[in-house]
Amino acid sequence: MGGLARRVSYLKAFKHRSNMEVPTLFVDAGNIFSDERFTAGQIPTDVMSKNKWVVKAYGDFHHDAANVNSADLPYLGELFKKEDFDKRVEEFPFINKLVSANVRPIDDAHLAPVPYVIREITLKRGVPGHKIRIGIVGFTESMPIGPNPDNRETVRGAYRIDDPFEAAKRVLPELKSKTDFIIALAYMPIDMSQRLATENPEIDTIIGARQINNTEDVQSVNRATIAYAYNQTKHLGELRVYVKADGSIENQVNRFVALDSDIPDDPAAVEVVTTAHNDFTNEQNKRSQETSSLIQSTSLLGAAESPFAGVETCAVCHQSEFEIWERTGHAHAMATLERKKQQFDTECVRCHVVGFGKGGFQSLTSTPQLANVQCESCHGPGRAHSESPAKGYGLMVTPIGCVACHTPVNSPDFNFVTYWPKVRHGAGEAAPE
């Protein structure tokens, strides 16, 4: 739900500025739920709670439709269970605005999302009173596995992902007969969106997501205008559609609105986001306590057996490196998450600690000594070295080792040449490769 409060505030301000005269649609091209830890067919309770808040917040704050992608499917299976479906829709009406023309259930216990929704808007400018029926349809690619693009996972959770191009041929003529304007939400790389536009003249606009995209320029392919979402929730894509006096489309202009501190948080949305955070932090607390008691009882990997020693141990012999490190942001990376109340969110934790998922940090309850980005986050597990120190341990390949965490998404300004001096220590120069 990153950026929700600012997105909502921007939208409200926009409606206000335009005297409520410009109809707005608020859509999401997909990948809205969290499935990072979908293993053994089960979504952990904290992730369930997070996803539940996403459906609720999207409904509460006027989203008109959201597409789903392969990562959304595990949670989709929870929302679209036939059992108690009506009750769930009553609680979360947004369920009926989740669209996909090419995912379908593989069993009888689940329902399919609708392929499209139709919204009617009335123009106040241009041609006052003119009504336009807008169809919003969703398409997604199957999930690529590994570098070979032909290697794809088509079944995930309770759903199968059909070929989006065949689905388009099936659904679009029908939708065209019911609407004046068609928006396709497409979770797929740009070349696939272009093909979608080339093969389907019914489409007026494609709003895509999936590829890192930093350009506001739209593309025109066949009849469609293609705009891609910025690669993160820190920006809102705003596509303005200008209508001529005869009701036809004049042009479509895209821009990205940076959701930075210039845009205030919407108080109502903040309240929801805060409640949601508290809710899933509680779940995560519960879960991390359960896991740590499990670890204690089965002594899977107690701290003493971890291959990671922790910075206190390194400091005994490497005092000067320690003193430099202590003054860097790396030493406070967990405090940063605590300020955000996300210290139990493993999606965040993995880059803000030592050796997550590799026998290092597990949780603040069971392995507090491995919180923060410490020596061993870069130099690798150092217990053996601490016990019998010698040369040859811990040489780090830069900048490759840095960008494991300093990804374009989480550290957009990363540049080894400017970053290394801020954390430099040791005698040697770490030359960029």
Residues at the interface with ligand HEC (CB under 6 A): 309, 311, 313-314, 316-318, 321-322, 325, 328-330, 332-333, 336-337, 340, 342, 345, 347-348, 350-352, 373-379, 382, 385-386, 389-396, 398, 401-402, 404-407, 410-411, 413-414, 419-420, 422-423, 425-428, 430
Residue 374's closest CA among 320, 307, 310? 310
Nearer to ligand HEC, 20 or 404 (CB): 404
Nearest residue (CB) to ligand HEC, 149 versus 408: 408
Question: Could you tell me the smallest distance in angstroms from the CB atom of residue 231 to ligand HEC?
Answer: 13
Q: Would you mind telling me the total number of residues written for the chain in this entry?
A: 433
Token duo for residue 381: 């597990």
Phi, psi of 249 (to 5 degrees): -80, 130
d(CA 417, CA 433): 11
Cβ proximity to ligand HEC: between 119 and 330 the closer is 330
Residue 254 CA to residue 228 CA, distance in Å, equals 9
The residues near 425 (Cβ < 8 Å, ≥ 6 apart) are 320, 321, 324, 325
Of 214 and 407, CB closest to ligand HEC: 407
Q: CB-wise, 104 or 358, nearer to ligand HEC?
A: 358
Give 332's DSSP letter: G
- ω into residue 147 within 30 of 0, thus cis? no
Q: How far is the CB of 10 from ligand HEC (least distance, A)?
A: 19
Residues 28 and 66 sit within 8 Å (Cβ to Cβ): yes
The nearest distance, CB 54 to ligand HEC, in angstroms, is 13
HSE-up of residue 264 (Cα within 13 Å, Cβ side): 6
| Cα 181 off chain centre by | 28
Q: How far is the CB of 212 from ligand HEC (least distance, A)?
A: 14
CA angle 80, 84, 89 (to 5 degrees): 60
Q: Which is nearer to ligand HEC, 264 or 389 (CB)?
A: 389
Nearest-approach distance from CB 85 to ligand HEC, in angstroms: 31
What's the rounded Cα separation, in Å, for the pair 132 and 1?
Answer: 31
Report the nearest approach of ligand HEC to the CB of residue 354 (Å).
Answer: 7
Amino acid at 58: Y
Query: Do 196 and 206 meet the contact criterion of CB atoms below 8 Å apart?
Result: yes
- Shortest approach of ligand HEC to residue 394 CB, angstroms? 4
**Rounded-to-integer distance, Cα 270 and Cα 212, Å:** 28
Least separation in angstroms between residue 332's CB and ligand HEC is 5
- 43/314 with CB nearer ligand HEC: 314
Assess contact for 216 and 254: CB atoms under 8 A: yes
Taking the complex as a whole, how short is the minimal distance between the CB of residue 388 and ligand HEC, in angstroms? 8
For ligand HEC, give the closer residue by CB, 296 or 407. 407
199 or 279: CB nearest ligand HEC: 279
Concatenated DSSP letters of 358-418: TTS---TTT-GGGBSS-HHHHH---HHHHHS--TTS----TTHHHHTTS-TTT-TT--HHH
At its nearest, how many Å lie between ligand HEC and the CB of residue 299?
23
Closer by beta carbon to ligand HEC, 100 or else 374:
374
- 215 CB-near residues (< 8 Å, 6+ apart): none
Closer to ligand HEC at the Cβ: 165 or 419? 419
Helix H or strand E encompassing 135: strand 131-140
Residues 6+ apart with CB under 8 A from 318: 375
Q: Give min distance, CB of 358 to ligand HEC, in A.
A: 11
Nearest to 271 by CA among 13, 4, 14: 4
